[in-house]
Amino acid sequence: MSTRSIEVVVPPREPHYVGDGFRVHNFIPGGYRLDMKRMDPFIMLDYNSKFYFPPSDTPRGVSVHPHRGFETVTIAYHGKVAHHDSSGGGGVIAEGDVQWMTAASGILHKEYHEENFSKAGGDFQMVQLWVNLPAKDKMSAPKYQAITNDAMAKYSLADNAGTIEVIAGEYQNLKGSASTFTPVYLLNAKLNKGGKASFDFPLNFNTGLLVIEGSIRVNGEEVVPTNHFVLFENDGTSFEVEASENAVVLILSGEPLNEPIAAHGPFVMNTHQEIVQAMQDFHGGKFGELED
């Protein structure tokens, strides 16, 4: 194994609102070299850092919108989100849960703060990650994978260092619940102060981490504070994370698709003509129906 070094530590950008319920820092695609090609197959990462929403009788959120050509992964750290789609699916993403939605050929979707959470108010903290699909799978059927925290694979580190939640891929031969189209690792490292964890991914996999809570030291050197993103070089395979205080770290690594990317808002395809077709299909009602 060889050490994977840090390419850049990225501070959170100024937050903006998606709808009226998601106050997010956008990391991908963003500045500091974090574009869709550099982080392929991860084409978007929006992070709602911990933020208090006061009580509201009208749930905040995002009204009906389309997706085609990729998957959305929503990870809840604080708060609850209710979602519905044009295929009749829906549910609640509670604290600690993950929703892995394959938009693929096209779906209409809406997501709001869950009703009881909205009425009570409270801290809200979420990640939404978009994972690109290879060209051969972009027009496959939409589907959901609801991964509840109690059913999530968890690896207990030695010496009370903490726990690794395996959402996708594997850690120490413990496999995650999510089914993926291409090799993807998605892990929550929940580390106690002083706890260490090592990670190893293939050299060509694009790899990063986001500090959700606390602060960490990477490879015994670089200190990374809360809400910062680390982009790793593709110059080695392994790295170590040590918690300077109790910490939660989202770790992502994936095999790049190395295919052309044509993106326009909620559509991510391979060619401009496919984007035009997606817009025509959406306006032509081929994504189904969903009321606000």
Residue 200 lies in a domain: yes
The answer to whether position 53 is within a domain reads yes
Decide if 43 is inside a domain.
yes
Q: What are phi and psi of 183, to 5 degrees?
A: -65, 115
The verdict on residue 230 lying in a domain is yes
Q: Is residue 285 part of a domain?
A: no
Q: What is the pTM of this model?
A: 0.96
- Residue 198 is assigned to a structural domain of this protein: yes
Q: What is the CATH number of the domain that holds 176?
A: 2.60.120.10
Domain annotation covers residue 262:
no
- DSSP 8-state symbol, 21: T
Number of domains, the chain? 1
Q: What does the pLDDT profile of the chain (292 residues) look like in tens digits?
A: 799 999 999 999 999 999 999 999 999 998 777 889 999 999 999 999 999 999 999 999 999 999 999 999 999 999 999 998 887 778 999 999 999 999 999 999 999 999 999 999 999 999 999 999 999 999 999 998 999 999 999 999 999 999 999 999 999 999 999 999 999 999 999 999 999 999 999 999 999 999 999 999 999 999 999 999 999 999 999 999 999 999 999 999 999 999 999 999 999 999 999 999 999 999 999 998 888 7
d(CA 116, CA 94): 12
The residue range of the domain holding 156 is 6-254
CB 64 within 8 A of CB 291: yes
Would you tell me how many other CB atoms lie within 10 Å of the CB of residue 160?
9
With respect to residue 266, please indicate whether it lies within any of the assigned structural domains.
no
